[in-house]
């Protein structure tokens, strides 16, 4: 951001969910320190206004003669704070009443309640972090596995922004060259060699393609990799799910078609979250309810990255049509009933007794390549970023066609500008208040 914008009012919100032993209330803005001083008394008697940033102070918060709680106050002075403004964090006992009293005291003394994500939005507006880093804050909070944390953390630390910045830098150079030609349009000069420009565009497109392709893995890791367990009725899908989860979550019965709806459960295998989807048995039926279940199965199948096709007798026919992008694992269940000759690549298990299930889990885990994510490479996991990259690539391909067809620099540079804008919306160089409102409304209050 070229122009850091510091807010001119002071906000307050609890930063921790209720129910913990300790809670934190945040106050941020130009009057944060003065407002906290109005209801906080330090043991040593020194007001916060006289204290340096990055110091802690123990004392009491209260209203006139009424003591509310013993607290520890952390003081951050502008610009060395999360948001860039003055900030006070009050750690109190985790009672919802105490927290609401502290928030009330701050409001009585001139603060207003923060909106969702407002602290992080202020950090963005003050130029402390860019937009993709701000979004990563929400992803870090929501991270539920080693892989999803690693993904969010790379983005938060700016690794992602750095690769986009270098792309933008190259595109800016390209746009500048083309736009320079416009200034000399009368003289019909070409500052940039067309062949080199096309090469440059191809290289940039290659990098953007790499980022867009990483979205499939990034998004799956963030939301949990979908694993659909499919198979004819009674092959043991629910038994397998229960075996994996170690509980009786899905209904098991001798009757075909018991699983009427899809059951979804999450497990973490070696740092990656998987969403296991037990699906209604696929078969022809007139039962309306069952047919609805089957429809859902087909939907779940389409959205899953991995399909575990379960059989209990040798079969050459596939149960369902599998998409090109999906990894299929064929599994023969009920192997406890006797040795089976398995076709090559199949896994033999007994869902009922557990044999082979660990091997199956490792195969499922092995179907997701997490090396890039775990090693901190740039991986796209946010659908807004993905859409912007796709839009950028479309404009890039128009620019390339334009160059190949020797269109005027003016037309080509317009498309290059669209690419620049698309990348700019990811990091927030180009943004609108609507986009900001949409992004930060998904945050929790106090972040």
Query: Which residue ranges make up the site for ligand GDP (CB under 6 A)?
Result: 231, 233-239, 252-254, 258-259, 281, 333-334, 336-337, 350-352
Residue that the structure tokens 């969010």 belong to: 152
* 254/369 with CB nearer ligand GDP: 254
- Minimum CB distance to ligand GDP, residue 12 (Å): 52
- Minimum CB distance to ligand GDP, residue 338 (Å): 10
* 169/314 with CB nearer ligand GDP: 314
8 A C-beta contact, residue 258 and residue 251: yes
What's the Rg (C-alpha) of the chain?
A: 29
Q: Are strands 22-28 and 87-93 parallel, antiparallel or unpaired?
A: antiparallel
* 114/308 with CB nearer ligand GDP: 308
The beta strands (E) that lie in 287-406 are given as 306-311, 327-332, 347-348
* Dihedral sign for Cα atoms in the order 35, 40, 41, 46: negative
- Minimum CB distance to ligand GDP, residue 281 (Å): 5
The Cα 230–Cα 234 span in angstroms is: 11
* 122/334 with CB nearer ligand GDP: 334
Neighbour count for residue 279 (Cβ, 10 Å): 28
- Minimum CB distance to ligand GDP, residue 212 (Å): 37
User: Nearest residue by C-beta to ligand GDP?
Assistant: 236
The beta strands (E) that lie in 219-290 are given as 225-231, 263-269, 272-278
- Minimum CB distance to ligand GDP, residue 236 (Å): 3
Secondary structure of residue 25 in the 3-state scheme: strand
Closest CA to 246 of 230, 261, 265: 265
Secondary structure of residue 93 in the 3-state scheme: strand
Cα 161 to chain center, whole Å? 15
- Minimum CB distance to ligand GDP, residue 323 (Å): 22
- Minimum CB distance to ligand GDP, residue 239 (Å): 3
Residue that the structure tokens 């980022």 belong to: 211
* 234/427 with CB nearer ligand GDP: 234
Q: Report CA-CA distances (Å) from 40 to 64, 130, 311.
A: 10, 34, 68
- Minimum CB distance to ligand GDP, residue 252 (Å): 4
Neighbour count for residue 375 (Cβ, 10 Å): 10
8 A C-beta contact, residue 333 and residue 240: yes
* 175/263 with CB nearer ligand GDP: 263
* 13/335 with CB nearer ligand GDP: 335
* 98/252 with CB nearer ligand GDP: 252
* 111/250 with CB nearer ligand GDP: 250
8 A C-beta contact, residue 259 and residue 238: yes
- Minimum CB distance to ligand GDP, residue 310 (Å): 7
- Minimum CB distance to ligand GDP, residue 259 (Å): 5
Residue 341 burial by Cβ neighbours in a 10 Å radius (0-12, 13-18, 19+): exposed
- b/e per residue 137-163 (b: at least 16 CB within 10 A): bbbbeebebbbbbbbbebbbebbbbee
- b/e per residue 87-97 (b: at least 16 CB within 10 A): bbbbbbebeee
- Minimum CB distance to ligand GDP, residue 229 (Å): 8
Residue 64 burial by Cβ neighbours in a 10 Å radius (0-12, 13-18, 19+): exposed
Number of helices (H), then strands (E), in the chain: 14, 13
* 132/297 with CB nearer ligand GDP: 297
* 278/415 with CB nearer ligand GDP: 278
């Amino acid at each position: 951001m070229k122009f850091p914008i510091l807010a001119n009012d002071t906000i307050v919100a609890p930063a921790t969910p209720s129910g913990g032993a300790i809670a934190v209330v945040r106050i941020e803005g130009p009057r944060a320190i003065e407002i906290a001083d109005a209801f906080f008394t330090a043991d040593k008697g020194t007001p916060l206004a006289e204290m340096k940033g990055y110091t802690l102070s123990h004392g009491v918060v209260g209203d006139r003669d009424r003591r509310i709680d013993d607290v520890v106050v952390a003081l951050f002075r502008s610009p060395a704070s999360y948001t860039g403004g003055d900030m006070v964090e009050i750690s109190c006992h985790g009672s919802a009443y105490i927290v609401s009293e502290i928030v009330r005291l701050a409001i009585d003394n001139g603060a207003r309640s923060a909106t969702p994500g407002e602290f992080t939005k202020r950090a963005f507006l003050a130029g402390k972090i860019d937009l993709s880093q701000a979004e990563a804050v929400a992803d870090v909070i929501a991270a539920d596995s080693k892989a999803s944390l690693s993904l969010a953390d790379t983005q938060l630390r700016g690794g992602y922004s750095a690769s986009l910045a270098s792309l933008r830098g190259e595109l800016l150079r390209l746009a500048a060259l083309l736009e320079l030609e416009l200034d000399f349009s009368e003289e019909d000069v070409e500052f940039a060699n067309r062949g080199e420009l096309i090469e440059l565009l191809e290289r940039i497109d290659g990098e953007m393609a790499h980022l867009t392709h990483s979205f499939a893995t990034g998004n799956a890791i963030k939301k949990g990799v979908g694993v659909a367990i499919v198979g004819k009725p009674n092959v043991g899908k629910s038994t397998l799910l229960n075996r994996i989860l170690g509980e009786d979550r899905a209904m098991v019965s001798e009757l075909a078609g018991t699983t009427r709806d899809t059951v979804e459960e999450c497990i973490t295998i070696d740092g990656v979250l998987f969403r296991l989807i037990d699906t209604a048995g696929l078969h022809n039926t007139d039962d309306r309810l069952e047919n609805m279940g089957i429809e859902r199965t087909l939907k779940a199948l389409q959205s899953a990255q991995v399909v575990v096709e379960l059989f209990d007798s040798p079969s050459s026919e596939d149960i369902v049509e599998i998409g090109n992008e999906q990894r299929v694992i064929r599994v023969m269940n009920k192997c406890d009933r006797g040795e089976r000759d398995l076709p090559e690549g199949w896994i033999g298990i007994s869902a009922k007794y557990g044999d082979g299930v660990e091997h199956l889990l490792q195969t499922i885990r092995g179907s997701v390549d997490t090396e890039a994510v775990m090693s901190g490479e740039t991986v796209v996991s946010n659908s807004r970023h993905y859409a912007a990259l796709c839009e950028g690539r479309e404009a890039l391909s128009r620019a390339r066609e334009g160059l190949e067809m020797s269109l005027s620099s003016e037309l080509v540079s317009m498309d290059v500008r669209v690419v620049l804008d698309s990348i700019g919306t990811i990091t927030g160089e180009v943004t609108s208040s609507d986009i900001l409102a949409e992004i930060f409304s998904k945050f929790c209050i106090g972040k």
